[in-house]
Chain A
């Protein structure tokens, strides 16, 4: 009887160890000051701290649901996808939009929420450019402007693609907060950012200099669902993560996390 009990205990221990996988998780930061810090120690005064908090809480909840012991790394956007591809990170929480070039490199989880992209700038700049191009400023009409975008993002990829024909100067930044800093220092005329990120940054800007300019866009790979990325060959992990996403959405955990940091829950 004792021997049987020992076998059961050992089996339980081993199954627990096997299930409690060790995972390295990359969490997107919005400001350079947030990099290489612990999620619960992030200074709330830093730009985009709410966004990081949402991503961080969601990442921890997913880890808990898949019974994994996760180590969290707070890194700029441009490091996440190469890190996942190279195996340094098992999961990349960077709200990645789907793109053919990315699909070749990494796998995608099921959607987390839906997003779009929108230009940000000052009303003065927007008005000046409207006069210059003879029509209201939009992503489709914008010409001859300096536009900041997150390095490695779809926004940057889009701008790079049209920069030549529209005489645009693309200014990649490591974080979204830096993109706003460039705007503030008049180093750029506009920034093209994901709508949620843009909202988080300009609504917390005490000077309230910035507004959304032109309509939001989802075409050209600039909108629709945001995902977690992970290594292509880790199909079991992807299935587990997808189950966890379905669970947190079904039981309202996802919406509660959103509501803790945003006035509305847009999913």
Chain B
């Protein structure tokens, strides 16, 4: 959810779109560079195939033809018959007329000189065969020049390939570097992406997960470091709001529980809550063999007080009684408004005798306490109490026995504590 606080933060989608865009641009640039190099390599290979190799073949043919020319010239000098010499000369002329020689100026001049020298030699030899020997040294020089030319042409042809292959090898090396660059770029970007994901997405999500897993109203609200991504910040805020809502709900729940368990007039716990707590306490005491006692108390002549002074006066008496009682019993004792002007007591860890002392002391204190009614009048109210041991019987039975004892206290003249006889 976008908030005003979130407006300055980039969204995850936008951040990763920017990253992807930057990566695409960089990678595209590298790929374009690679494509250029590849094009260069393909061009060089195509040039090698279409131009250089045929050119090399042409040079090879030319060199071969010059060699052939040399060979036939040698044959002319070594032939013993005029007809053989003539055949060799015909071949010399045939080779010298080949386009491969004619299109190379140096080779053309060489072939022409060779052909002329051999024609002249053949004509002289027809008249005087000894001329062959006389002219042979010169032929050797011509032949040597031809060999050198063949070498030059062969090297020239080889150089063509060398230049193209160097060019191609250089392009391939550049391509390899660019490829390594592309790999480094991709690797670097993946590392950067992982680091950014970890820093801005994974770790914040882990923090949020931990915070949500241990979210408790008893604990303080979770604290998150300032998130850089809008979405993470929104989730952090949501977790904080959730904790606040949970705390608020818990407070409301406790309030409701209090209201449900207390008597609205006296503030003492109500009968339902008392019964549940007393049941549990009696079970615990009986399980561990500990003493426990219950009592039922009833304000004496309360109906007459109400009738005489009004219900407001009755309420004041009840509240005063509850306040006095709260000050007089132990923290562990349970007291509830059992109904009307009747109250129930539970004394854990107390024998009947110990409880008797406690309630007797309170009875006396209450009986001597002046209660100021709303109209300013001071009154005193007495209390009758029935006390019973609950160490060996269920709550209902113990209360029943306490009730009988209360009835006995009323019958004997009120304002007293009667302990129920032990049950057999």
Contacts and interface: CB of A to CB of B under 8 A. Distances in A.
Interface string A218-260: 1000011000000000000000000000000000000000000
A215 interface: yes
Contacts of A118: 93, 97
Contacts of B102: 116, 216-218, 223
A266 interface: yes
Interface stretch (A43-51, A88-96, A167-175, A196-204): A196-204
Interface string B78-119: 000001001100110111111110110000000010000001
A212 B65 CA distance: 18
A156 interface: no
Contact of B99 (A199, A203, A211, A223): A223
Interface string B302-345: 00000000000000000000000000000000000000000000
Label chain B's interface by main secondary structure.
helix
A267 B61 contact: yes
Contacts of A208: 83, 86
B98 A266 contact: yes
A264 B91 contact: yes
Given A114-B98, A116-B98, A223-B99, A264 B68 contact: yes
Contacts of A224: 99
Contacts of A215: 97, 112
A217 B101 CA distance: 11
Label chain A's interface by main secondary structure.
mixed
Contact of B94 (A114, A195, A218, A223): A195
B83 A218 contact: no
A217 B119 CA distance: 19
Contacts of B94: 195-196, 199, 264, 266
A263 interface: yes
Q: Which of A118, A215, A223, A224 has the most CB of B within 10 A?
A: A215
A115 B93 CA distance: 13
- Bin chain B's interface residue count: 20 to 34
A142 B145 CA distance: 32
Contacts of B95: 264, 266
Interface string B37-71: 00000000000000000000000010001001000
Contacts of B61: 267
B90 A195 contact: no
Nearest to A196: B94
B65 A266 contact: yes
Interface in A26-85: none
A203 B96 contact: no
Contacts of B99: 114-116, 218, 223-224
B415 to A, nearest CB: 124
A7 B217 CA distance: 87
Contacts of A199: 90-91, 93-94
A97 B83 CA distance: 32
Interface in B131-153: none
A263 B72 CA distance: 11
A114 B100 contact: yes
Nearest to B68: A264
A116 B97 contact: yes
A191 B183 CA distance: 71
A223 B102 CA distance: 10
A264 B99 CA distance: 15
Interface in A112-136: 114-116, 118
A196 B91 CA distance: 10
A30 to B, nearest CB: 16
Contacts of B119: 211
Contacts of A195: 94, 97-98
Contacts of B93: 118, 199, 211-212
Contacts of B98: 114, 116, 195, 216, 266
Contacts of B86: 208
Contacts of B100: 114
Contacts of B103: 218
B72 to A, nearest CB: 8
A215 B98 CA distance: 11
Contacts of A114: 98-100
B344 to A, nearest CB: 105
Nearest to A217: B102
Contacts of B68: 264
Nearest to A136: B116
B229 to A, nearest CB: 64
A223 B101 CA distance: 12
B351 to A, nearest CB: 110
A202 B99 CA distance: 20
Contacts of A116: 97-99, 102
Given A116-B102, A223-B102, A264-B68, A212 B91 contact: no
B89 to A, nearest CB: 8
29 contacts: A114-B99, A114-B100, A115-B99, A116-B97, A116-B98, A116-B99, A118-B93, A195-B94, A195-B97, A199-B90, A199-B91, A199-B93, A202-B90, A203-B90, A208-B83, A208-B86, A211-B119, A212-B97, A215-B97, A215-B112, A217-B102, A218-B99, A263-B91, A264-B91, A264-B94, A264-B95, A266-B94, A266-B98, A267-B61
Given A203-B91, A263-B91, 8 more contacts: A114-B99, A116-B102, A199-B90, A203-B87, A211-B93, A212-B97, A216-B102, A267-B61
Interface of B: 61, 65, 68, 83, 86-87, 90-91, 93-100, 102-103, 112, 119
Interface of A: 114-116, 118, 195-196, 199, 202-203, 208, 211-212, 215-218, 223-224, 263-264, 266-267
Q: Which 7 A-B pairs have the closest CB atoms?
A: A216-B97, A195-B97, A199-B94, A203-B90, A114-B99, A212-B93, A218-B99
